[in-house]
Amino acid sequence: MLNIDRRILAHFDFITIILLIPLIFTSGWLIYEIHPMLGQKQMFYSFVGVGVFIVLFLLPIRRMLWMIPIAYWTSILLLIAVEFVGHSRLGAKRWIEIPFIHFTLQPSELLKPAFVLMLAYLISRTPPPRDGYRLKEFLKLSVYILLPFFLIAKEPDLGTATVLVLLGYGILFIVGVHWKIWIGMITAFVISLPLIYSQMHDYQKQRLHDFVGEKPSYHVEQSIIAVGSGGFFGKNKEDATQTQMKFLPIASSDFIFAYVVERFGFFGALMLIMLYAALITHLLLIAFWTEDYYIKVVAGGLSLLFFIYMSVNIAMTIGFAPVVGVPLPMFSYGGSSFINFVIILAILENLLAYRFRYLYGDTGKKSFL
């Protein structure tokens, strides 16, 4: 029989899980409506997610922190491998095919948890002084942020690369960097904008032009029509013609928000955004409340990831951002992004649930098994 330490339950963060449940159920329902087969697959991913969560939660992560640099550098090696043995799809080299089982994986997805943990590892080893990191520490951390950024941007996958940079520096902001450095950073970024543009690929420029230009691309146009035809409370499944008749492209993944609005109207969109807002705010509060740098970085990172993904995804479906292939977190159809969030979440819950042993200098039972 399991003899679960009551302190584990006391420190477990139930609020996050409670906020995620309606999200995952609504997502499964809507994907099933768009395409029953994909709906079933998404259900399978959810079960896999629960399995991954349990396994990670039970691992003694606090004792395995030495593995973080190995995971990070392995991911970096895989990113470099993409360059040479990568699989091209639609002009971008992002995938590696694992021999014999015909399973492709995207190292840039794999990197995200390792990336967040690596930052946690580095930060907790040399915590910032009271008024934040100074230039030397900041540059050292920047190397770990920018290395994967350039590798992913080269694939090219500017969307994921940008998310990584925002995530990395967002975490640094939460942890603390001296304000003068931020001013310098922003100035440098603005100055280098033209250079970044000139280095972009044609399809990326095209997307930018689609976005800046008067007329949105076919995808965005159809997405806006789907959103616009939703009304206040949405329509029946049969009347949601934009999605049901496949005018809305990639309706189950990138543009699922448009289907949410077509189906449940402005009201549905408001509920969904508020759900995300509650989740993001909750995780952010954990990050600011804790003194433990591992928890701070992972909770802050997860909060930022949710925020960046949901706002960029929604913005692009309503014509506010260029189409960059960023999914709606834990909502869009797809396994790897979903599992990624589960991994980070499980690690966070693990760090939270067992923190008492370290905070209170616990010397009790070594294992609850």
Partner 1 sequence: MKIKILITLFIIIWIGLIVRVFHLAVQSNDYYESLSENNSIKSELTAPVRGEILDRNNEPVAINELGFKIAFAPHLTKGKDRTLLDKEIAYLRTMIPTLDADKIAKTYIQEDSYYNHSFIDVVDFISHETIIPLYSILNLRGTVKISPSPKRLYPYGLVGAHLIGYVAKANQKEIDADSSLKLLGHVGKNGIEKYYNGYLQGVAGERRIKVNAHNVEIEEIGRSATQENHNLVLNLDMRLQNFITQAFEKRVGTIIVMDIHGAIYAAGSYPEYDLNTFVSGISPEEWNALMTSVDSPFTNKMINGLYPPGSTIKNNMGLLYITSGVWNENTTIMSTGSMRLGNRTFRDWKKNGHGATNITKAIVESCDDYFYQGSLQVGIDRMSNGIFRMGLGKKTGIDLPNEFIGTVPSRAWKREKFHKPWFQGETLNTSIGQGDLLVTPMQIAQQTALMATGLLPVPHIAKMIGNTPNTPVPLDVLTPQEKAKLPIIQNAMRGVCNEPGGTARAYVSTRFPIAGKTGTAQTTGISQTVKNRLNEKDMEYLKRSHAWFTTYGPADNPQFIVTVMVEHGGHGGEATGGIVSSIYNKLDELGYIKKPKPASDTASVQVTP
Sheet containing 92-98: order of strands: 87-89, 92-98, 103-105
Q: Is 290 in the site for partner 1 (CB under 8 A)?
A: no
Burial 57-85 (b: 16+ CB within 10 A, else e): beeebeeeeeebeebbeebbebbeebeee
- Stretch of 76-84, 150-158, 278-286, 353-361 contacting partner 1, by CB under 8 A: 278-286
Given the complex with partner 1, which of 227 and 324 has the nearer CB atom? 227
| List 314, 324, 347, 353, residue binding partner 1 (CB under 8 A) | 314
| List 151, 181, 269, 351, residue binding partner 1 (CB under 8 A) | 269
- Stretch of 43-51, 142-150, 202-210, 273-281 contacting partner 1, by CB under 8 A: 273-281
Q: Is 217 in the site for partner 1 (CB under 8 A)?
A: no
Given the complex with partner 1, which of 116 and 353 has the nearer CB atom? 116
- CA-to-CA distance for 161 and 63, rounded, in angstroms? 31
Backbone torsions φ then ψ of 72, nearest 5 degrees: -60, -50
- Stretch of 10-18, 98-106, 139-147, 313-321 contacting partner 1, by CB under 8 A: 313-321
**Which residues make Cβ contacts (< 8 Å) with residue 159, sequence separation at least 6?**
312, 324, 325, 326
Q: Is 261 in the site for partner 1 (CB under 8 A)?
A: yes
* Per-residue tokens: 321: 């951002």
By CB under 8 A, what part of segment 154-183 binds partner 1?
173-174, 176
Given the complex with partner 1, which of 32 and 247 has the nearer CB atom? 247
By CB under 8 A, what part of segment 139-158 binds partner 1?
none
Spatial CA neighbour of 317 closest among 302, 307, 308, 327:
327
Q: Is 74 in the site for partner 1 (CB under 8 A)?
A: no
Contact indicator for 89, 203 with CB cutoff of 8 Å: no
| List 208, 273, 275, 278, residue binding partner 1 (CB under 8 A) | 273
* Per-residue tokens: 318: 């309503």
